[in-house]
Structure 1
């Protein structure tokens, strides 16, 4: 097992683990290429994975095969979190959309760590922010137009990728928005016309984040603020190591 120092961790949850709990984790570094499955729908969750970089999608699929992305997972979170709630599998799957790497733990080795009160509290707070993100995805779908929803998703991707260039395909954008691929180009042109982004094949460059936030309006921000309140800006108990400050100054979630 590769030794991993907590001081070098990029995942925001792992950085906040109490030191005594972190030292018990058998973390296995793993490369996460595009399309790598983190959670298989309706299959036992054999590992949980703390993303260090890259971007994963959690996807809901109907009985007749229709699918839509319901949330993102980046270095703010963990894939396989249903096990925290005592669930061994989920109808929702999760897979990598932007390649990266992470640290995985076998579920059977991870579950005993939940007996640690501070770990359990931290992860339940994270799950609360996941539920809030899902709620605001539903709100955005019901009350906001497509280019506002696109602005929200791009902001959420930008929060998790350390670059203004987001390697996002039209296929992924269509999955995010729940629209046909042919509609994605029109929505990107709207944001380009507002000088918020520059879209090329397989890439969206963020030109003006503030403009994207203005376009997204009220469908972006509440879950992000709740994450920062409960996790990002929370005072750490003395058993936590001091975490490395990131170079980015906007909210992550």
Structure 2
């Protein structure tokens, strides 16, 4: 495993940490390629790593009892998967997977949890990120309840554009329909 220099990091959360706090998370940290459909968080399975995305786009989805899948949010270079662990929850019923291939930095769960336990300021930082994510999910629920399909599509494309570099969004119509719940 090679050392990751904070100056080379493209993830916004990791870039915002002080050098001291970044060092706390760096034990076991590794850069990984994240192919399309790669699962970052499996539903109802203990999470083993937090993944800080640097490139690509991850979708958080929820499934109904009849196995209908709907996207509830997505993560790009501004965020990380597995944030339910900041709330001291080992598993989640949602699933997070790569919608657009990319790369990220994996941090083992033990390292992440130890860093939060040892540093209340770092824990507060990640709790604020969780709060921001909850607000985005709330606005997505509002949009899905109030907006027509074209308005939801425009919102979804803009949110993806915020999280990806460039203007290309390589997805299929089938995948887009799944993400919009149509």
Equivalent residue number for residue 158 of structure 2: 155
Equivalent residue number for residue 127 of structure 2: 124
User: 2: CA distance between counterparts of 1:175 and 1:123?
Assistant: 29
Matches within 5 A, 1:39-58: 39-58=41-60
Contact 1:18 1:119 in 2 (8 A): no
Equivalent residue number for residue 98 of structure 1: 100
User: 1: CA distance between counterparts of 2:108 and 2:83?
Assistant: 12
Q: Select which of 45, 63, 75 maps to 1:61.
A: 63
What SS is found at the alignment partner of 1:99?
strand
Q: CA deviation at 1:148?
A: 0.4
User: 2: CA distance between counterparts of 1:151 and 1:108?
Assistant: 39
* TM-score relative to the length of structure 1: 0.69
Runs of 4+ in 1 over 6 A off after TM superposition: none
Equivalent residue number for residue 167 of structure 1: 170
Equivalent residue number for residue 142 of structure 1: 145
For structure 2, the 5+ residue unaligned runs are: none
User: 2: CA distance between counterparts of 1:67 and 1:20?
Assistant: 40
Bigger Rg, which one: 1
Equivalent residue number for residue 20 of structure 1: 20
Q: CA deviation at 1:45?
A: 0.4
Cα distance per residue 1:46-100 (max 9 Å; x no partner): 1110001000000000122011000011110010110110000000000001000
Contact 1:18 1:118 in 2 (8 A): no
Higher relative contact order (CA 8 A, sep 6+): 2
For structure 1, the 5+ residue unaligned runs are: 180-253
Q: CA deviation at 1:21?
A: 1.6
Q: CA deviation at 1:165?
A: 1.4
More strand by share: 2
What SS is found at the alignment partner of 2:24?
coil
Give aligned pairs, total: 179
Q: Select which of 64, 82, 85 maps to 2:84.
A: 82
Equivalent residue number for residue 36 of structure 1: 38
User: 1: CA distance between counterparts of 2:114 and 2:17?
Assistant: 14
User: 2: CA distance between counterparts of 1:55 and 1:3?
Assistant: 25
User: 2: CA distance between counterparts of 1:24 and 1:134?
Assistant: 29
